[in-house]
Amino acid sequence: MKRPHFLLALLLCLPLAAPAALAEPAALAQSLDRIIAARFKPELPGVAALVVKDGRPILRKAYGMANLELGVLARPEHVYRIGSTTKLFTATAIMLLVDDGRIALDAPVKRYLPDAPPQWDKVTIEHLLTHTSGIPNLSMDSGYWRTTARLEHTPAELVDPVRTRPLENPPGTSFAYNNTGYNLLGLVIEQVSGEGYYAFLERRIFKPLGLAHTREGSDSQVIAGLVTGYRSGPAAAWPLASSNFYAAGGLVSTVDDLAAFMLALQAGKLVSPAGVKRMNTSYVLPNGKATDYGFGTWLRTVNGKRLVGHGGYVFNFYSQLEMDVDSGIVAVTLHNGDRFGGDNEVLSKQLISEVQTWKAD
């Protein structure tokens, strides 16, 4: 598999440095390598990791196994399911349409989905983006993952069961993480653009950025380089139908593609700078409490620096894409096992902190 153009171009453009200048990055890479290697056993499902600082890759390496049955070692160019990290792409797609003047954040969903039920009349696009719509989350239904999620569904069918239910709270008043809300955003993208959700992402995000390995994670198609997911044991991942994840969690990608996407997004090369700032701003509830979630972005701090990004979990894959926007640090970790290496959010935070605080001896 080919490495994305952005990393290759960056490496080719770097000036030839003296050995002394290279010593510090090499030592930092070794420190990051020790942090990750301590978590993952080589004979178990592992992780692909990429850490970038100021556009320069510091560490790009994989650990553990991509496939246990065939004894395939993990490689950094392998493809992983990214689950809810897809939400950052969905939010970006919405903001592209906002920049185009085709969507208004404060507009009711009904403007774009005329068949929306009456109880959604006051639910806006912003409410869907920030998980404050009050619309019930279908994936929280009892038995959903044991039954419903194992069957194929169309995008509309991922939303239909909640259309007759009352809102769980008035729109904008409470935060509740909501996959159904993001699947609704996928339907909005399709309705406004006149394209399928994945086709729109391909045209407006994947192709312009050269993200050759980011695509729909269909389990009915062969995806070159896709690794196998495992749950605790290790045992085979739960048998689920990929069509259930759609705009809330349906993409596959690589560490290289995800880093390229994050760098381009935060640099204002996709969404306008004003739009990016809005995405990176926490929604504040009427009671004054910040939710620590923007538009498709979780917001955290490490050593006083702002982190933006998203994580995901699907088919026993974990993903974490995060950027310290104050220091220009990006960390991407893609796991193909059910916490074989511990909590992926903790690992991401640890890697970013190591780069932030690194001082050469």
Q: How far is CA 209 from CA 4, 24, 76, 99, in A?
A: 9, 30, 19, 18
Torsion angle in degrees (nearest 10) through CA of 22, 23, 27, 32: -10
The CATH T-level fold of domain 22-357 is Beta-lactamase (3.40.710)
Which residue ranges make up each domain of the chain? 22-357
The per-residue DSSP string of 61-102 comes to: EEESEEETTTTEEP-TT-BEE-GGGHHHHHHHHHHHHHHTTS
Q: Tokens for 216, please give them.
A: 């729909």
pLDDT, position 5: 45
Q: Tokens for 358, please give them.
A: 């690194």
d(CA 44, CA 350): 22
Give yes or no for a contact between 103 and 281, defined as CB atoms under 8 angstroms apart: no
pLDDT, position 7: 47
d(CA 261, CA 296): 14
Q: Which residues of the chain have pLDDT under 50?
A: 1-22
Q: State pTM to two decimals.
A: 0.93
Helix (H, G, I), strand (E, B) or coil at 310: strand
Tell me which residue has tokens 């006083």: 304
Neighbours of 106 (CB within 10 A): 8
CA angle 144, 311, 67 (to 5 degrees): 80
d(CA 55, CA 49): 15
pLDDT, position 328: 96
Helix (H, G, I), strand (E, B) or coil at 271: coil
Tell me which residue has tokens 């910040």: 290
d(CA 126, CA 107): 8
Amino acid of residue 226: L
- Residue pLDDT, tens place only, 29-84: 999 999 999 999 999 999 999 999 999 999 999 999 999 999 999 999 999 999 99
d(CA 102, CA 109): 13
Distance of CA 290 to the CA centre of its chain: 21
pLDDT, position 360: 58
pLDDT, position 6: 46
Helix (H, G, I), strand (E, B) or coil at 72: strand
Under the phi-then-psi rule, with left for phi > 0, alpha for psi from -120 to 50, and beta for the rest, what region is 288? Answer: left
pLDDT, position 291: 98
Phi, psi of 28 (to 5 degrees): -65, -40
From the list 10, 39, 58, the residue with the least C-alpha distance to 352 is: 58
pLDDT, position 105: 98
Amino acid of residue 68: L
Burial 149-169 (b: 16+ CB within 10 A, else e): beeebebeebbeebeeeebee
d(CA 130, CA 329): 25
